[in-house]
Amino acid sequence: MKRVVITGLGAITPLGNTVPEFWNNIVNGKSGAAAITKFDASKFKTRFACEVRDFHPEQIIDKKEIKKYDMFTQYAIAASDQSIKDAGLDFASMSEDERAEIGVIWASGNGGISTFEEQLKEFYAGDGTPRFNPYFIPKMIVDIAAGVISIRHKLHGPNYCTVSACASSNTALINAFDTVRMGKATIMIAGGSEAAVTPAAVGGFNASQALSKRNDNPAQASRPFDKDRDGFVIGEGAGSLILEEYEHAKKRGARIYAEMVGGGMAADAYHLTGTPPDGLGASLGISKALKDASISADKIDYVNAHATSTGLGDIGELQGIKKIFKELPVAVSGTKSMTGHLLGAAGAIEAIISVLSVQNDIIPATINTEHLDDAIPPGLNIIIGSSRKQKVNYVLNNTFGFGGHTATSIIKKFE
């Protein structure tokens, strides 16, 4: 197996549209939640979200091309372009043979949901005559972002989309990691994007009682592990990471952020949308990731928890963490308290947080949490309030999705 390093990062998030801005706001405990502006949410039970702001696609995409892409693809283009530039990659100067060794695995849980909504709205508002945009299907399908990134840069390596609900982009990261370490590619662009702050998504999550309804105080609505939490805050955006074979990165003199050393995937096989109270899915994903990385639990310094701020989900995950780490003083925090829940893109932006955590020896905090739930297993080292400066050699990144999907990745400080 080959070593896999991370040489580029890109982010479009509710906390900033560059990696430095995003990381600065994470370290300083800023919330990205505010009133919804993308549609009239006045009649919805939840009227706030973590939206991407000040995003100008015309600055990176030709105006004639923009109409071909749903917002989730526009976010994907922007984040992946950032990561490619950050990695110092010049695909235009490479041969076709070299570009055949570079691929894209890009995730999304919902794809072009706003495109789907808009087209059906137009159809049913008309006289029944089927008049659809010729770009309707390619704008909507969930795999299109991966295809567009490869087309944009003429990359001929492995190319596909992973869909495992809110575990999607962590799944993409693990698949890309496997692809590189098995020698099937030298470089993979991996990540995910989501643009699901739409009437159907907000209404659907409201109907399933999953979203917070703290409309009077959105900034403090996402409060993982707090006994008064009442659901997650929906978010949007994209995260992109360049995974590269170590010798290849070394040969070209690339700057290396961190190393990816393990990934674990599992199914809790429990419920359509709920997670088991004993944390079975979490413990399986963690144990498989540790085994894959050939390390013991005591090596992990920080767990970036999935921690959406739902009643059963938070406790179930902590039970799973406790089962693996027992009395070890591993730090745990939930950064969705700041970003909101980016659904299929969550794992990617939390992987970026994990990478920067090991690089900078900083553990971001869980903000908004004031009174820890009494049901939390005793002895867990949950970081609340403000970021903590300490040595961080390994970070474990947890994600879970509707359908029982579990994906856990491990990032290591590069040596």
Q: Known catalytic residues?
A: 166, 306, 341
Q: Kindly report the number of other CB atoms within 10 A of residue 374's CB atom.
A: 6
- By the 8 A CB rule, do 160 and 184 touch? no
Residues with Cβ within 8 Å of residue 312, at least 6 apart in sequence: 274, 275, 277
Q: Which two tokens stand for residue 13?
A: 């998030």
Amino acid at 178: D
* Half-sphere exposure for 77 (CA within 13 Å, toward CB): 23
Distance CA 146, CA 107 (A): 8
Distance CA 336, CA 339 (A): 5
* 184-211 core/surface letters (b: 16 or more CB in 10 A; e: else): ebbbbbbbbbbbbbbbebbbebbeeebb
Q: Which two tokens stand for residue 17?
A: 């549209």
- By the 8 A CB rule, do 307 and 224 touch? yes
Supply the DSSP symbol for 13: B
Amino acid at 149: I
Q: Which two tokens stand for residue 169?
A: 């982009």
How far is the CA of 253 from the CAs of 90, 326, 377, 412, in angstroms?
Answer: 13, 41, 46, 20
Q: SS3 for 159?
A: strand
How far is the CA of 44 from the CAs of 148, 270, 308, 328, in angstroms?
Answer: 34, 30, 20, 43
